[in-house]
Amino acid sequence: MSAVLVIHGGAGAISRAAMTTDKEREYHAALKEILLTGQAVLAQGGSALDAVTAAVVGLEDCPLFNAGRGAVFTSEGTHELDASIMDGATLKTGAIANVHHVRNPVRAARKVMEVSKHVFFVGEGAERFAREHGLEMVERSYFSTPERYEQLLRVQRENPEAAVLDHDGQTMVARQIAAPAHPLDMDKKFGTVGAVALDLHGNLAAATSTGGITNKQVGRVGDAPIIGAGCYASNQTCAVSTTGTGEMYIRKVAAYDIAARMRYAGSSLEQAAHAVMFEELPSIGGKGGLIAVDSQGNIVLPFNTGGMYRGFARVAQTPVTAIYPDSQ
């Protein structure tokens, strides 16, 4: 068993042509910094829950990713944030959806898990819960960035009915600037952040957070805050965080399916994750990626898109970060 933290910052049509050297370096630096923060938690004997919380907070605070600050816009020019977390040792969970003022949604999800008799709060009730428990609240403008707003405007000009996940929207912006006639590939559209970890005590945890999809209908909820779809953890099997076409991950109960294959069919983590990622999800048009770790410290980071921002860090080892399929 080897304590390890794995993170992702979303998957999608991440084009090399649309990615400058400086921007690529910026993504790698951000992923490494977040991994080092979570790695330090594990190295000091901290829990897997603390490690995934720290990692997702870091991803939420970084405007490069679609969660927290830098979240994408809805069709009405607003932000709706979702998050979930699960403790593999106890199977306790917490989730929130459609919040507008909670700076770090993953902290609110964890507070739900720790102090509430319920497991899932949405909208105004979730915001009231977070405020009553002393979590940091911010103005809606905190989450906005000029790049995300330009992303919304370009998506709406290209196809007002489209709902585009984070990194495809970014690719669209870059393509439109370089070649205005180049259409957006509407089959490739994904974004979310997440973390999974195994700690020195043998416990697993997972957390997932998202700003949703660009130009989505207000009130829409994807897989990120849904336990079993976008997030799952059990010490008996594995911890999973997903990113992709949320509706398809919900329909396939993707995160739990990996754990179920391991528990009931005796599949290895790699076998189970690859079956879900490359067979089950594509069978209904599902695209994206996921990260997972099992109780022995084995990890997988599969995706069926042009790229996925990802990385892992084992205790006392140098963190590894990657974006494209041919890098790891």
Q: Point out the residues that are catalytic.
A: 192
C-alpha 209, offset from chain centre: 5
Per-residue tokens: 45: 């004997």
CA dihedral sign of residues 237, 242, 248, 250: positive
Output the CA angle 248-220-75, nearest 5 degrees: 115
Contact 133, 150 (CB under 8 A): no
CA distance 258 to 302: 12
Contact 111, 136 (CB under 8 A): no
**CA dist 306 to 29, 97, 108, 287, Å?**
20, 28, 32, 10
> Which candidate, 326, 301, 304, 323, places its Cα nearest to that of 4?
301
**CA dist 180 to 19, 29, 85, 91, 149, Å?**
17, 30, 41, 49, 18
Per-residue tokens: 113: 């898990």
The 10 Å Cβ neighbour count of residue 45 is: 12
Site of tokens 């995706």: 303
Per-residue tokens: 318: 């140098």
Q: Helix, strand, coil proportions of the chain in percent (round to 5)? A: 35, 25, 40
Length of the chain: 328
Phi then psi dihedrals of residue 300, to 5 deg: -140, 150
Q: Work out whether strand 299-300 and strand 238-244 pair parallel, antiparallel, or are unpaired.
A: unpaired
